[in-house]
Chains A and B, each alone.
Chain A
Amino acid sequence: DAKTTQPPSMDCAEGRAANLPCNHSTISGNEYVYWYRQIHSQGPQYIIHGLKNNETNEMASLIITEDRKSSTLILPHATLRDTAVYYCIVRVYNTDKLIFGTGTRLQVFP
């Protein structure tokens, strides 16, 4: 089972920051947090991952709390094309697989 809890849906106005929360209270010290998204029925798309430090790339920022029990994905300027299901995944140490939950359906509106 997925080790994360996410709200089922969120809305965001175009051009505003989208902040997607994720709880992973049972995360272990060597487990990473990954974020993927799935636009309609396309293949999941990698966004970002991190262990304990905050991370930023061209797509998004990942903020991980100091106790690592939760994180937030930030899309700084959401566009209509960011409408998708966003998955927060804790990758179990020493395993190849990603365990997807039900994710957060983000709707960006004009």
Chain B
Amino acid sequence: EPEVTQTPSHQVTQMGQEVILRCVPISNHLYFYWYRQILGQKVEFLVSFYNNEISEKSEIFDDQFSVERPDGSNFTLKIRSTKLEDSAMYFCASSPPTGGLNEQYFGPGTRLTVT
């Protein structure tokens, strides 16, 4: 069964450094998402992406964050200058071509630790 994959599984970085989290969505999906979950807290929506542009973003997704689909298969989340409070699990998700109200399929996550 097709799956969303994410790399790396764990990323450790120093405060102020840039990080790029990578995701490979399910191959025929066209809608892409990033969520995060700080340890012990709720899963929070960050951003949705369709047709090479952001369709919706949350207050968390400020100028330090950006997303890109550089090559038609990968979907990346970049954090320009990491802060301690960016430490969290970051989940990528994708939805089938019909999008809209379809289900979102989540990847296994990348654990980001900012020191």
User: When the two chains form the complex, which single residue of B91, B101, B105, B107 contacts A32, counting CB atoms closer than 8 Å?
Assistant: B101
A42–B105 Cα distance when bound, in Å, is 12
On whether the beta carbons of B56 and A96 are closer than 8 Å, the reply is: yes
Is residue A9 within 8 Å, beta carbon to beta carbon, of the partner chain? no
The residues in A between 31 and 89 inclusive whose CB is less than 8 angstroms from any CB of B are 32, 34, 38, 41-46, 49, 87
A96–B100 Cα distance when bound, in Å, is 7
Please give 9 more A-B residue pairs, beta carbons under 8 A apart, in addition to A46-B106, A96-B56, A98-B104.
A38-B43, A41-B89, A44-B91, A44-B106, A49-B103, A95-B56, A96-B55, A100-B44, A102-B42
For chains A and B in complex, what number of residue pairs have CB atoms within 8 angstroms?
A: 51
Residues of A within 8 A of B43 (CB): 38, 44, 87, 98, 100
Is residue A99 within 8 Å, beta carbon to beta carbon, of the partner chain? yes
On whether the beta carbons of A101 and B42 are closer than 8 Å, the reply is: yes
Task: Jot down 7 A-B pairs with beta carbons below 8 A, ordered by A.
Answer: A32-B101, A44-B35, A44-B106, A96-B31, A97-B33, A98-B35, A101-B42
On whether the beta carbons of B55 and A43 are closer than 8 Å, the reply is: no
User: When the two chains form the complex, which single residue of A32, A38, A43, A102 contacts B4, counting CB atoms closer than 8 Å?
Assistant: A43
Residues of B within 8 A of A99 (CB): 45
User: When the two chains form the complex, which single residue of A42, A96, A97 contacts B109, counting CB atoms closer than 8 Å?
Assistant: A42
On whether the beta carbons of A91 and B101 are closer than 8 Å, the reply is: yes
| Residue among A43, A49, A101 having the largest count of chain B Cβ atoms under 10 Å | A43
